[in-house]
Chain A
Amino acid sequence: MRRVTGCEARANKPPMSTKPQSLLKKHLLKKVWDAHTVCELPSGQTQLFIGLHLIHEVTSPQAFAMLRERKLGVRFPKRTFATVDHIIPTDSQIRPFQDVLAEAMMVELEKNCREHGITLFDPASGQQGVVHVIGPELGLTHPGMTIACGDSHTSTHGAFGAVAFGIGTSQVRDVLATGCLAMEPLKVRRIAIDGKLGRGVYAKDAILAVIRRLGVKGGVGFAYEYAGSTIEAMSMEERMTVCNMSIEGGARVGYVNPDETTFEYLRGRRYAPQGEAFERARAWWQSMASDAGASYDDEFALDAKAIAPSVTWGINPEQNLGIDEKLPSPQDVADEARASIEEALAYMQFKPGQSIEGTPINVAFIGSCTNGRISDLREAAAVAKHGKVASGIRTFVVPGSRAVAEQAEKEGLPEIFRAAGFTWREPGCSMCLAMNPDQLVGDEICASSSNRNFKGRQGSPTGRTLLMSPAMVAAAAIRGKVTDVREILG
């Protein structure tokens, strides 16, 4: 006897949207979830329709191979967009790439996109860039959408009020084949940040402060809703920086409710609706924002004034400090926390109780989907103007996309960086994960504007990463050591 294992088991159940829920106050996650629910699965998971599927060269080829094995096509090719970012060299994008493995991955992506009618933003398109930079920039990311990508930093798109999450390779296959995912329900934690960020304190510092307080596993099972006057005052690029690192706090999804800032960012972008359609879209987008008085599974509040320029000192993003603080000592903490602090200190070759300020660095990296946008480059350039890169420091300034690079060129930023002794590169992920030739050597210490300070993350098994804002990276490059950017900004 054939057992039914999917959607049709519940086919007679009325769809959720017909229930009289209009009087209930709902948060954005619930509204988006309901609008995208195809059905409840017997497993207790929800079958969700995915409105935008972004793919790149590293996690998609195996998924396409699985489709081929099963003789399946891509169900929603027009809702699928591709770019190349992880393996692309940043010194020259001329084909064929020197690394034959990187070239083979590029060729495979081109072939898969061609075969399935998927738009690919390759270098020749003039729109190539890190997947989480180009989605918003092209206007592909809309409020109220569900977005998936085989990359954990997909949470970035939540800045627009989308429900966006990273997925594994088998799930990339599932979305390609069906336009859907089976998802466990998520709880929502509202994180309110209120007040004005101090000078030299950026969105990066705000999210590092949140992760420091809630921990790297604190968000498991939750979506983070960022709210409060600090978040409301942020630009879209700043909100993206915050949402990007939700996953570092364990939350697969992070979002900000859409508002005028969101709508104005989208107006006129290539894939955003135009004219009257834009006004209709805007009304729908607005309706998807959390209702005042919606209830949350958890709430957390943070005062913006309590946030200092922050730097990681250990081997996960929770291990971060304000610039004027000292590293923890294993003997000062509870038993459970001791081992991880000892492990981090040993790996980083740091001493308990030492200052993070003044730590000498070898490499400076400005870029990534966390901090590789135009506002990040402007902030770093504003610091770079104040000096020259200290001798012996290798630097990488890597715009997040071709469009970011072009805008920076219009504003004369590459000249500012070059004059200060920084190297200006082509767009890509670069040293964020070092799958291309940009890598640390030995136990070098890198001041980095990226999102992960895991052991070996930047290409050397013993390499050390200090995460901080782009302005702080520029300051560290100029002084050759971790520096309070406020001293340079005056």
Chain B
Amino acid sequence: MSNSKIERVQGRACVLHGNDIDTDRIIPARFMKVVTFDGLGEHAFADDRKQAKGDHPLDREAFQGAQILIVGKNFGCGSSREHAPQALMRWGFHAFVGESFAEIFAGNCAALGVPLLVLSHADNTRLMDSVEADPAQQVTLDVARATLRYRDGEIQGKIAPGMQRQLLDGSWDGVAVLQTAGAAIEKTANALPYASNYAK
């Protein structure tokens, strides 16, 4: 099986202001009594959106269909629930750009093949302003170069080296990596006495 490599994410962007946005806000706990992550997308930021009465960035007409979410500092802090990046991914975001991300959230994104690009405060602010002024513009995140190209130019950012390598060589995909072993898995299994219920 060929591993899927994530080299770039391209599309329109959505701007979400605010720092320290925790995973409870991204996906409130009551939506976790579910059997698949499939339906989670529509509940992303459920409580925030309800309070905003249609004026939340995720509900704004101009940001519909956006692929990249631009956020502030320490995005995704709090509980480790994998449900949080899952919900945003299923809403339609395939990359996050911001000033910083919480560690566990970043780890979960890595396992899902979702790149996180870290920008300086100045660059992030300039990008947010530009996208808000012209939401129809195309934005391109280049994983290998850790850059973001937008209407007004190109910004140099940072992607954690481990994540960058995993995205580029496809090893973010745990199943694909482990499957590479092929029959060596059965060979290891069969050498274990309990595999044959200690028959020999």
Interface residues of A (CB under 8 A from B): 2-8, 11, 17, 35-39, 41-43, 47, 49, 51, 61-62, 65-66, 70, 72, 75-76, 87, 101-102, 104-105, 108, 142, 144-145, 168-171, 173-174, 177-182, 273, 277-278, 280-281, 284, 435
Is there contact, CB below 8 Å, between A61 and B36?
A: yes
4 other contacts beyond A3-B169, A51-B194, with CB at 8 A cut-off? A49-B188, A62-B82, A70-B175, A144-B194
| One of A7, A76, A102 near B181 (C-beta < 8 A) | A7
| One of B171, B175, B195 near A173 (C-beta < 8 A) | B175
Is there contact, CB below 8 Å, between A6 and B36?
A: no
Is there contact, CB below 8 Å, between B185 and A284?
A: no
Residues of B within 8 A of A108 (CB): 35-36
- Chain B 176-200 interface 0/1 with A at a Cβ cutoff of 8 Å (1 = within): 1111111011001101111101111
Interface residues of B (CB under 8 A from A): 2-3, 33-38, 80, 82, 86, 108, 111-112, 166, 169-171, 174-182, 184-185, 188-189, 191-195, 197-200
Chain A CB count within 10 A is highest, among B36, B86, B191, B193, for B193
A295→B74 CA distance, assembly (Å): 41
| One of B33, B174, B181, B194 near A8 (C-beta < 8 A) | B181
| One of A104, A173, A281 near B193 (C-beta < 8 A) | A281
A280→B199 CA distance, assembly (Å): 8
- What is the CB-to-nearest-CB distance from A43 to chain B, in angstroms, rounded to a whole number? 6
| One of B3, B189, B198 near A49 (C-beta < 8 A) | B189
Is there contact, CB below 8 Å, between A65 and B189?
A: no
- What is the CB-to-nearest-CB distance from B125 to chain A, in angstroms, rounded to a whole number? 32
Is there contact, CB below 8 Å, between A49 and B169?
A: no
Contact A177 B35, CB 8 Å, known A35-B192, A43-B171, A75-B185: no
- What is the CB-to-nearest-CB distance from A136 to chain B, in angstroms, rounded to a whole number? 15
Contact A61 B181, CB 8 Å, known A51-B194, A273-B198, A277-B197: no
A39→B2 CA distance, assembly (Å): 19
| One of A4, A144, A273 near B197 (C-beta < 8 A) | A273
Is there contact, CB below 8 Å, between B36 and A178?
A: no
Report, nearest first, the 3 A-B pairs whose CB atoms are least far apart: A6-B180, A7-B181, A61-B35
Contact A5 B188, CB 8 Å, known A169-B82, A174-B178, A178-B178: no
Is there contact, CB below 8 Å, between B33 and A105?
A: yes
Contact A8 B180, CB 8 Å, known A180-B185, A281-B193: yes
Is there contact, CB below 8 Å, between B35 and A4?
A: no
Smallest CB gap from B175: residue in A = A177
A280→B192 CA distance, assembly (Å): 12
Residues of A within 8 A of B166 (CB): 43
A99→B195 CA distance, assembly (Å): 39
Is there contact, CB below 8 Å, between A182 and B174?
A: yes
- What is the CB-to-nearest-CB distance from A450 to chain B, in angstroms, rounded to a whole number? 19
Smallest CB gap from A168: residue in B = B82
A38→B185 CA distance, assembly (Å): 6
Contact A5 B180, CB 8 Å, known A51-B194, A177-B175: yes
